[in-house]
Amino acid sequence: MSNSIKILITDANYKHTLGAVRSLSKAGFIVDAIGKKISLAGMSRYLNSIAYDDRLFDENHIDEFLDFLANKSYEVLLPIGARSVRLVAKFKKEIEKYCRTPVSEIEKVDYCLDKKKTCDLAKSLGISVPESFEVDFSKEKIDLPSKMRYPVFVKGSHEIHKRRPSIAKNEKELIEILRKWQNDAFSRDHSPLIQEFIQGHGFGYFALYKKGRCIQSFMHERIRESPAIGGPSTCAVSIFDEELMSLGQKLLDALEWHGVAMVEFRRDGRTKEYYLMEINPKFWGSLDLAIACGVDFPTMAVNMALDKEIVPIEKYEVGVKFHWPFDGEIAHAIENPSAIPSIMKDLLNPDVRSNLWRSDPLPSFLSFFEEIYRVARTMQERLQ
């Protein structure tokens, strides 16, 4: 691999950006990032530099960003987070005058970011989805379905405008949650989605597509999440499941997808039926697990953008357990104290992988302090 190929990556403070930076650097690329120096990737020895301020990486400053690209020699721009993917997709034509980027069209990205639309797509393809209801805050009175089955899951209806999810065990709790949404100016402008809560585990199908054709697949099962009721993985294990792969590919095939994507499901613990939760048109939080199993999605995505040959990993390692000790595990332990023995066991087990690298320790220190801050803030909000 030539060491002269320069990559620009977004969202320097995401844990999966750190994973991508480490992987790309080890593959021989020179990696710069958009973000701040005090960030997970910014403090990594594998990052070449923080090259651009993330405060100027938005639609209002797109001309400045294009000028920046024009004066640099990046060959690939690799967006990580949802906002970044949407921005790059929207201005893909202008950006690709200066470098390549492996993202889909803005219309398809927007379609995936809208959770209601993706549920409608799943229904049209015969894929199960939880019973859903979107709240309309523009009306004076909130109308709730008369036959709603509890518990229900309350989350943002759009990936970019999301907030911490909640679970309501009855109508009284649901009304209380919705009132909090109404009292929050930001949330009031972005209606929540109320979904039937599927009792079971979360599963993910991950893929890299090239112009509608699947290049690489990977799957995992969530062991622990934060929030514990349903959120990003804090511990997961690699799996292979033909049915899960078939469902994920059916959705991405229908979209004629291009780039990476995550299709999130929840499997009913009783019936073993998969229910679509959402499609994320971007890299996912548990990216480290795929890389640990030999499926290097960041390098594959970069090589696809460069029109280089990609050799798919047909049989990746299954049964690999990975956890993120300072990226949700502490929060999960506080929410669910019964999980503490399992978390400690995984932390002390050398066979359980993690993103704590002895060769790259500084991001771990920052991650620890950020986790403590997040936990303290969440506890304060609950006391209000």
pLDDT tens digits, 252-271: 999 999 999 999 999 999 99
Residues 39, 363: Cα–Cα separation, whole Å: 7
Q: What is the mean pLDDT of the chain?
A: 92
Residues 6+ apart with CB under 8 A from 72: 6, 8, 51, 98
288-322 pLDDT, tens per residue? 999 999 999 999 999 999 999 999 999 999 999 99
**Cα 173 to the center of its chain, rounded Å:** 28
Report the pLDDT averaged over residues 143-151.
Answer: 80
Range scoring the smallest mean pLDDT among 21-35, 94-108, 141-155, 319-333: 141-155
Which range (29-38, 124-133, 321-330, 368-377) has the least confidence? Answer: 368-377
CA nearest to 175, candidates 197, 156, 196, 152: 152
Cα 235 to chain center, whole Å? 14
- 214 bridge partner residues: 209
Question: Which of 241, 256, 153, 165 has its CA nearest to residue 196?
Answer: 153
Question: Which stretch of 36-45, 168-177, 277-286, 307-316 has the lowest confidence by average pLDDT?
Answer: 168-177
Q: What is the pTM of this model?
A: 0.92
In angstroms, the CA 116 to CA 371 distance is: 31
CB neighbour burial string for 279-316, b if at least 16 within 10 angstroms, e if fewer? bbbbbbbbbbbbbbbebbbbbbbbbbbeeeeeeebeeb
Quick one: pLDDT band at residue 138, thresholds 50, 70, 90? low
pLDDT tens for each residue of 194-244: 999 999 999 999 999 999 999 999 999 999 998 777 778 999 999 999 999
- pLDDT over threshold 80, residue 163: no
Predicted confidence (pLDDT) at residue 189 exceeds the cutoff of 60: no
Of the listed ranges 128-142, 174-188, 214-228, the least confidently predicted one is: 174-188
Instruction: Provide the pLDDT for residue 1.
Output: 45
